[in-house]
Structure 1
Amino acid sequence: MPFLSMPLLPMALFAASLSLAPGPVNLIILSTALNHGVRAPLRFITGATLGFTALLVLTGLGLSATQALAQSWMDLLSCIGAAVILYFGYGLLRAEGTLDTHDAPIPGFWQGAALQWLNPKAWIACLSGVALFNLQGRTLELLQFSTLYCVICFCGIGAWAVLGHNLTRWLDTARKRRALNATLGTCLILLALSLAAAPAQRLLTVS
């Protein structure tokens, strides 16, 4: 069977390493769980997982067309994605530090899905996975890999919600939570600025 002939362990390790690595999606999940509880980011986690999985499938089915996307469109996606990340970073900077605070935004399903499609790193991860495991033109194997990735991605990024929830027992004062919120917010803002710097410069040069 094709499924049994696939390199499942390398595929699983590839998916796990990318899903667990710190990034804007995982930092948003961490901060949401910290401020609102472990269940609060569930819709965002689901959206981010399914959004990435859909992107992976479509990338594999149309790899040539994806690679031919105009640089200006990728730059525009980068800038829009950076703006979304900035929004969450700014919300964290404003958060007061009380549990279940209304100052820190709670992201939803569509924000999670859209953020993956607006993140060039997600596009690169999809292209890399398809190329690494030679999945172009192999629809069945691509769908099997995407299913495996979907499960691992949900668990991997969901682990950041558990981490955020567990941190609350150590952050027993509003001052400590406010400090962590400020740190996470600053990290998100710096990530957004680094994500948008080169694309914005190219867009301004073209215009």
Structure 2
Amino acid sequence: MEQSLTMALFALTMSISPGPVNLVTLSAGLNHGVRSAMGFVSGATIGFSLLLFLIGIGLSAITERFGWAIDTLTFLGAGLIVYFGYKLLTSSGGIERGEHPKPNFWQGAALQWLNPKAWGACIAAAGLFELDQSRPTLYFFVCLYCFICFFGIGSWALFGSQVERFLSTPKRHQLFNQALGSVLIILAVLLLYQQFGMNGR
């Protein structure tokens, strides 16, 4: 029981804390509504859960032997984050939902797989809960995480849809999108710096 609670708190903390996936979800909720954002939310949830499962059965050992794989993922992930940020920065001030690009299921899944922080969270969970030692524990945690992750990420879509009420003019809407876009691009730069700059590469 105690371990289950710890697992739930870990999953909730990692799922609901700010990051590229949640900021993109926020913009999707704002620009397209909660229902339309669910495709991206589902993709991000399933993508992370699958990554967690594969690392739990030993994928992390492969990445340790091929360090260049993580470096490649970092570049691709930063590129995808910059893409979302650029789209928000250059979006018009219109408040019609059809005027903004809508993130989809596959982009949500890809963003998780291309995010070294998602890999780090999965590896940390695998070590913390010794997921490679017990398949039942691994299956339970992946299912628990998938459930919590969906609602954790989805809450950002709900928050975005509520923020829309305060953005009653095209100018306010555009400024909010530009702020989100700028933050995403900054996060991409920080991601690259953490992966390469801090490691002296």
What's the TM-score bracket when you normalise by the shorter of the two chains?
over 0.9
- Residues 106-141 of structure 1 deviation map (CA, whole Å, 9 limit, x = unaligned): 111111111111100000000111111122131111
Structure 2, unpaired ranges of 5+: none
- The yes-or-no answer on 1:176 pairing with 2:172 is yes
1:109 has 2:110 as partner: no
Alignment deviations for residues 46-85 of structure 1 (CA, whole Å, 9 cap, x no partner): 0100000000000010155245242221111000000001
1:12 aligned residue (2, 8, 15): 8
SS across alignment from 1:172 = coil
Read off the aligned partner of 2:102 and give its amino acid letter: I
Query: Aligned residue for 2:54?
Result: 58
| Sequence identity (%) | 47
Tell me which residue corresponds to 2:78: 82
Partners of 1:74 and 1:15 in 2: CA distance: 23
**Contact preservation (8 Å) 1:89, 1:188:** yes
Q: Which has the higher helix share?
A: 2
Q: Across the two proteins, how many residue pairs are aligned to each other?
A: 201
User: Deviation of residue 198 (structure 1)?
Assistant: 5.2
The answer to whether the 8 Å contact 1:130/1:136 transfers is yes
Q: Tell me, yes or no, if the aligned pair for 2:63 and 2:69 is still in contact at 8 Å.
A: no
CA change 1:103–1:86 in 2 (3 A) is farther
SS for the counterpart of 1:143 is: helix
Instruction: Give the alignment of 1:31-50 within 5 angstroms.
Output: 31-50=27-46
Q: How do residues 182-201 of structure 1 correspond to structure 2 at under 5 angstroms?
A: 182-197=178-193, 199=195
| Stretch deviating more after TM superposition (51-60 or 169-178) | 169-178
Give the counterpart letter for 2:92 in structure 1.
E
For residue 61 of structure 2, what is the amino acid of its counterpart? A
What is the rounded CA distance, in whole Å, between the counterparts of 2:178 and 2:35 in structure 1? 22
Letter of the 1:8 partner, please give it.
S
Alignment of 1:136 with 2:137, yes or no, is no
The residue type paired with residue 113 of structure 2 is W
Q: Which amino acid aligns with 2:142?
A: S
Q: Aligned pair in 2 of structure 1 residues 69, 97: CA closer, same or farther (>3 Å)?
A: farther
Spell out structure 1 runs of 4+ moving beyond 4 A: 198-202
What is the alpha-carbon distance in structure 1 between the residues aligned to residue 196 and residue 88 of structure 2? 24
- AA of the residue aligned to 2:168: D
TM-score normalised per structure 1: 0.90
C-alpha RMSD over aligned residues:
2.1
Deviation at 1:98, TM superposition (A): 2.0
Tell me, yes or no, if the aligned pair for 2:56 and 2:126 is still in contact at 8 Å: yes
Secondary structure of 2:36 counterpart = coil
Query: What CA distance in whole angstroms lies between the structure 1 residues aligned with 2:175 and 2:138?
Result: 43
